[in-house]
Amino acid sequence: MEFFRALTDGATHGVLHEWTGEGFAHTPWRDVVRDAHGMAAELRGLGVGPGTRVAAVLTNTPDTVRGLLAIWLAGGAVASLPLPTRGQGREAYGEQLVALSARLDPTLLLVDEELTDMVPPELGKELPVRGWSSLRGGGRVEPSPPGRDDVAFVQYSSGSTSTPKGCALTTRAIEQQLQIILHLTGGWPGADTVASWLPLSHDMGMFGCLLYSWAYDFDFVLSSPDRFGMAPRTWFRDMAEYGATMTAGTSTAVYLAARAQGRGALPRELKLRAAVIGAERVDWDTLAAATEKFRPFGLSDTAFQPAYGMAEATLAVTGKPWDRAPRALAFDGPALVEGTVIEVAPDHPKAARLVSNGVTLPGVSVRAGSGGGIAEIQVSSPSLAVGYHADPERTAARFRDGWLRTGDLGFVRDDELYVLGRADDMLSVGGRKVYASEIESAVDSLRNVRKGCAALVDAGGSGTSRLVLMVEPQGNPKDFRPIAEEAASLAMEKAGVALAECLFLARGVLPKTPSGKIQRFRCRALLDEGRLAPVARVAFA
């Protein structure tokens, strides 16, 4: 598959169904390409050509979709900057834009008109800033897209563990990844319908949904994160309405969609074959409950596809085969923390249930713990980035001899990968190792805690540990101590550690990436700087 030829010449039957804020507009891909040519002519006038980079804040608007292709048609490489994350102030986001733009040396910055006031004035003086809609125009250009071994896309991470990193992806890497996704989902060119609300600034939304649909001439139903956030039930309703066969999302999003569905009906029976679930730890109970909820509407037991991937590999690394049911096994929790894999019965008092992230995908190799041990996951893939843009130190530390050191911990069992979490999620408490994600996952299950809204940090200093749990409560509890005590009991039960304090925060305060990952390093920074204003705090003696 020649990527850019597929984008411009191959889409002859597919239709883009795009959310406009009031409803869906329906545009054949060939008309999207025509609109993109007009925008490319405008970009050429702004200096975009081969060898240039365009900094872009990618949202899910119709003009953004067309403008993305227009940049490539004009010859530029797209540098996808992070969207503002939840809890991130205007000043902090502006500083991030300035820092990333300085590394990129872009020809211009493209944003939605409503985000232009987030661009610091000093950056606007150094760099032309334009809204996507301002590029609308007529005309056609002679395409000169990046070559197969040229960097076509710089995917900046959302910064869940550190400051954003720009993964430099060649055209060849993108081509390879789209073929990998076709294998993962059992897709057939020209015959599928993909639905997504994921932000296009995120690799799952961009490569796993938009470009995948575009390249293989699928119908594509593009909603938005804001619409999903306001009404999670729209995800499955859209899929039923348009007969979607493939989608992607997070475990938390599945939980929210199933809960929001309630006892309501869907407009039509689901035709969903593949729902790739990743970007965060996958919860078995969530998948089981959602399958049960939507089974009466046609959802099969094999539809959910837990997967593992990252921007450094363009996207997918491992995944559950599309025609098999998801799998989960129970392991001795304390032994996992100490680096040993011991399978136990699901009802074992110290059991930690892990969902399999599937098998390696075509052309991909994975190194991880084996033979009963746990190790850092390393990945070799035909869709691997060439490194981090303008960041040789990070590149040298993570990319070595064709392998990526992911910073994630996991192990392989029966040829399937199980991911425990990030190495920097590991806390040291009294000389013992503690997986913060294991405690957070347990606290997530509490009735009075919002799903995906628990973060554990070590606020100690000078060699001492002081574990602080930050949560957003569900509903409007009158007494927070029982919730805190239940969370403290879970921390002791799961990891044998004592919480020093539990902070209850207002809804939307915990910093998260647009895909819903907790930004632990920002949680710790906000705590250290005294910038949190909890609605309640419960301290333990």
- The string of pLDDT tens digits covering residues 237-263 is 999 999 999 999 999 899 999 999 988
- Those residues of the chain that have pLDDT short of 50 are 160-161
315 lies in a domain?
no
Domain boundary pick from 367, 397, 423: 423
Do 462 and 531 lie in one domain? The reply is yes
Number of domains in the chain: 3
Do 90 and 225 lie in one domain? The reply is yes
317 lies in a domain?
no
Widest Cα–Cα separation across the chain = 71
CATH number at 379 reads 2.30.38.10
CATH number at 448 reads 3.30.300.30
218 lies in a domain?
yes
Q: How far is CA 387 from CA 67, 279, 400, 404, 448, in A?
A: 25, 20, 10, 9, 43
316 lies in a domain?
no
The Cα 493–Cα 451 span in angstroms is 20
Question: Which pLDDT score is estimated for 160?
Answer: 47
Contact 123, 97 (CB under 8 A): yes
Do 152 and 72 lie in one domain? The reply is yes
The Cα 345–Cα 329 span in angstroms is 8
Structural domain that includes position 387: 327-423
CA atoms within 13 A on the CB side of 258: 21
Do 357 and 378 lie in one domain? The reply is yes
3-state secondary structure of 147: coil
Contact 446, 285 (CB under 8 A): no
Question: Which pLDDT score is estimated for 228?
Answer: 95
Do 208 and 298 lie in one domain? The reply is yes
310 lies in a domain?
no
CATH number at 87 reads 3.40.50.12780
For 339-371, what is each residue's pLDDT tens digit? Answer: 899 999 999 888 889 999 999 999 999 999 877
Q: How far is CA 71 from CA 9, 60, 63, 247, 473, in A?
A: 17, 16, 12, 26, 44
34 lies in a domain?
yes
Do 364 and 258 lie in one domain? The reply is no
Domain boundary pick from 386, 407, 423: 423
Do 419 and 434 lie in one domain? The reply is no
Question: Which pLDDT score is estimated for 117?
Answer: 80
Question: Which pLDDT score is estimated for 350?
Answer: 81
Domain boundary pick from 423, 447, 479: 423
314 lies in a domain?
no
pTM for the model stands at: 0.88
The Cα 261–Cα 445 span in angstroms is 19
319 lies in a domain?
no
Question: Which pLDDT score is estimated for 87?
Answer: 66
Do 408 and 437 lie in one domain? The reply is no
